[in-house]
Each structure stands twice: as C-alpha cells, then as structure tokens.
Amino acid sequence: MTSMTQENEIISVLDFERIMRCIVTAEKEYADQIVNLKQLKKRVLAAQKVQVDEIPPDIITMGSVIEIKTDDDNFTFKLELVYPEFENVRENKISVFSNLGSAIFLRKSNDVITYQAWGKEHRIKVLSIHYQPEAVGDFNI
C-alpha cells in the first residue's frame, strides 16, 4: 500500500473505534472489492492508541483537511479525509478506504508517501495540514 510506513503511527481511541466499525462492516459486505482493507486494518490495529486530546497536530486524522503535491506532475491540491459514507470526489472528500485515503491516514505533515492506484505507483508529499479536528477540539466529525 504505502512505502515508508511509519513504525510508530498514532491514532485516537475515537478514530480507532469508528474506523474499526467501518472495517468490520466492509469486511462483511465488500471485502473482495476493497483491495487495501487488510493493510489498513493492520496499520490501525498496530497504531498506538491515545486520547483525542493527545494527538499531535501534525498527524492526519479523520476529518483532516490537507494539502498535497503530486510527484509526477507537481500538481498541488487540498483534500479532506472522510469516512466512506461521506466520500465525494467532486468536493475533494476522499474516503479512508480509497488507495489515497488509506495511504495518507495517520501520516504526518511533510511525509512523502508512495501508493498504488490505477495500476501504477504514485508519490505525493504532504505539504501541510490546514485543519485537524483534534487540534481544535472538534471530536464530532
């Protein structure tokens, strides 16, 4: 899924509970259709669980709005990482179950991430996190 996976990824207990519910549901209904579901589950289970107010502000969490730059064409854009039911590509709301979404989840500002999509490898750099719910005390995303 991604290269340079962080050994000590951090997840809030709230994101952990919500993501695991989504994963369990998806495993029952769509397991064969979501290629990176097992890898995402493995990362979520391995991540260090902390309280929401202990999440560092440079971690990409659910509901984060980030700016990334593609390596292949130097295109820069903002996106919001959302739960699968809120995905809307036209509004740049990217599901955590998508290849890009699962690649950026729990990563940090300035990380360079490699992921697979559409039969080829892509590299992006996280330029900045414009909004992180935990950083502003917004825990009801």
- Contact between 81 and 104 (Cβ < 8 Å): yes
Average pLDDT over residues 106-135: 93
What pLDDT score was predicted for residue 87?
96
Which has the closest alpha carbon to 127: 60, 44, 40? 60
Whether residue 65 is predicted with pLDDT greater than 90 in this model: the reply is yes
- pLDDT digit string (tens) for 74-114? 899 999 999 999 999 999 999 999 999 999 999 999 999 99
The pTM score is 0.88
- Identify the burial level of 72 via C-beta atoms within 10 angstroms of its C-beta, where 0-12 means exposed, 13-18 middle and 19 or more buried: exposed
- Give mean pLDDT, residues 25-48: 84
Q: Assign domain 10-133 one CATH number from 3.40.50.620, 3.30.450.20, 3.20.80.10, 3.10.50.30.
A: 3.10.50.30
